[in-house]
Amino acid sequence: MNLSDDAVPALDKEEEFRARRNRINRIAKWTLPSLVMALSLLAWHLYVTLNDVPHYVLPGPVPVGKSIVEDWALLWPAMLTTSRLTILALFLAVTGGVALAVAFTQSRWAEMSFFPYAVILQVTPVVAIAPLLQIYVDSAFVAALLCAWIVAFFPILSNTTTGLKSADHNLHDLFTIYGATRWQRLRYLAAPSALPYFLGGLRIAGGLALIGAVVAEFVIGRAGTGLGLASTLLEASYRFNFGRLYAALILISILGIGIFAITSLISHLMLRKWHESALTREI
């Protein structure tokens, strides 16, 4: 497999260079973004203090940081509410999207009948539907959940449907020759083939679920969903509390990063053994 048993560990110039570059890259991957972050915060701070920018136009990083600490008792429950909304919507999008994708691939009739409506659901802007949902659905939380679900659902459905159909044709023939049942074909062939597609959809849907949740809170939130981060943000803007507004914005951002990191990790763990996207090339 490799030449290490020849007991000549000498690295030639090129290999030495490559090893050094890898070491540097590993460190730079973390230090460079951190440095950029620190510098932007500094620039932000200097811009605000040197120009005497009023706090209701742009608060500096210090008051924003202070606001995160001081308003923590208010922001933390709001973050939990938004997280719960997002994660629940994502969960429902995954179950619904995968179930419908399976139904579509199992029955051509089902796909012909319902796929256009899935598209309509997708292309209709959620902002336009949200007020209606508020009228027809009693619980504001359920209405917000529906909003976030509608946005997150389509990438899962679309990617999983494509994935389920992407299995190798020769493998399909092989399954036919060996007399595989429908279930075996789905379980052993279509589902694993669909996995990379599904996980790609999941990463997109994670971000979209958060966007859907934020939009829903903007539109419906005031009606008493229990305050999430987006409704806190909106309320802070009405009160000209710009420190809190930015604090809420930053927390939404962190939530988004967290969701992306988790879905990426899931994707990496499930694919690292075999799929090209998760492999690191040795040479």
Partner 1 sequence: MTARHGRRPLLTMSRVEKTFGGETVALKDLSLTVNGGDFLSLLGPSGCGKSTALRLIAGLIHPTSGRLEWSGERGAGDLGIVFQEPTLMPWMTVSQNVWLPYRLRGKGFAEAQRDIDAALELVGLAEFTEAYPRELSGGMKMRVSIARAMVTRPRLILLDEPFAALDEITRFKLNDDLLEMKAALGCTVIFVTHSVFESVFLSDRVIVMAARPGRVISELGIDTPYPRHADFRTSNEYAAHTRDVSNALGEAMGAAA
- Under the criterion CB under 8 A, does residue 166 sit at the interface with partner 1? no
d(CA 110, CA 161): 12
178, burial (CB in 10 Å: exposed 0-12, middle 13-18, buried 19+): exposed
Among 44, 114, 175, 260, binds partner 1 (CB under 8 A): 175
**From 18-26, 38-46, 185-193, 201-209, span contacting partner 1 (CB under 8 A):** 185-193
For residue 86, the number of C-alpha atoms closer than 13 Å in the C-beta half-sphere is 28
Among 2, 4, 34, 170, binds partner 1 (CB under 8 A): 170
For partner 1 (CB under 8 A), the number of binding residues is: 21
Among 58, 92, 121, 180, binds partner 1 (CB under 8 A): 180
Among 26, 173, 254, 277, binds partner 1 (CB under 8 A): 173
How many Cβ atoms are within 10 Å of 108's Cβ, its own excluded? 9
- Where in 107-146 is the site for partner 1 (CB under 8 A)? none
d(CA 229, CA 144): 13
Among 25, 184, 253, 277, binds partner 1 (CB under 8 A): 184
Residue 66 or 172: the one with the smaller Cβ distance to partner 1 is 172
Least distance to partner 1, CB of residue 15, Å: 22
- Under the criterion CB under 8 A, does residue 188 sit at the interface with partner 1? yes
- Under the criterion CB under 8 A, does residue 178 sit at the interface with partner 1? yes
Binding-site string for partner 1 from residue 251 to residue 280, where x marks contact by CB under 8 A and - marks none: ----------------------xxxx--x-
Residue 40 or 184: the one with the smaller Cβ distance to partner 1 is 184
Q: Cβ contacts of residue 183 below 8 Å, gap of 6+? A: none
- Under the criterion CB under 8 A, does residue 44 sit at the interface with partner 1? no
- For CA atoms 251, 257, 260, 266, give the dihedral sign: negative
- Where in 195-254 is the site for partner 1 (CB under 8 A)? 195
Q: Token pair for residue 98?
A: 């995968």
Backbone angles phi, psi at 227, to 5 degrees: -75, 125
Among 74, 110, 137, 171, binds partner 1 (CB under 8 A): 171
- For CA atoms 198, 204, 210, 213, give the dihedral sign: negative
- Under the criterion CB under 8 A, does residue 179 sit at the interface with partner 1? yes
Place of tokens 């419908």: 100
Least distance to partner 1, CB of residue 48, Å: 53
d(CA 201, CA 22): 31
Question: H or E stretch including 237?
Answer: helix 229-238
Give the alpha-carbon dihedral of 80, 229, 150, 262, to 10 degrees.
-50
Report the interface residues with partner 1, using CB under 8 A. Answer: 168, 170-171, 173-180, 184, 188-189, 192, 195, 273-276, 279
